[in-house]
Amino acid sequence: QSAGADVSAVKEAIKLQSALKFNGGGHINHSLFWKNLAPASKEGGKLEAGPLKDTIERDFGSLENLKKELNAKTAAVQGSGWGWLGWNQATKKLEVVTTANQDPL
**What are the structural domains, with CATH classification, of the chain?**
7-100 (3.55.40.20)
Average pLDDT over the chain, rounded to whole? 86
Which pLDDT score, from 0 to 100, does residue 13 have? 81
CB 95 within 8 A of CB 69: no
pTM metric for this prediction:
0.70
Query: Which residues face 99 on adjacent strands?
Result: 82
State mean pLDDT over 83-100. Answer: 94
State mean pLDDT over 71-96. Answer: 93
| Residue that wins the pLDDT comparison between 3 and 21 | 21
pLDDT score of 64 more than 70: yes
Which pLDDT score, from 0 to 100, does residue 15 have? 82
Query: Which helix H or strand E contains 86, and what residues bound it?
Result: strand 81-88
Give the separation between CA 98 and CA 79, rounded to whole angstroms. Answer: 12
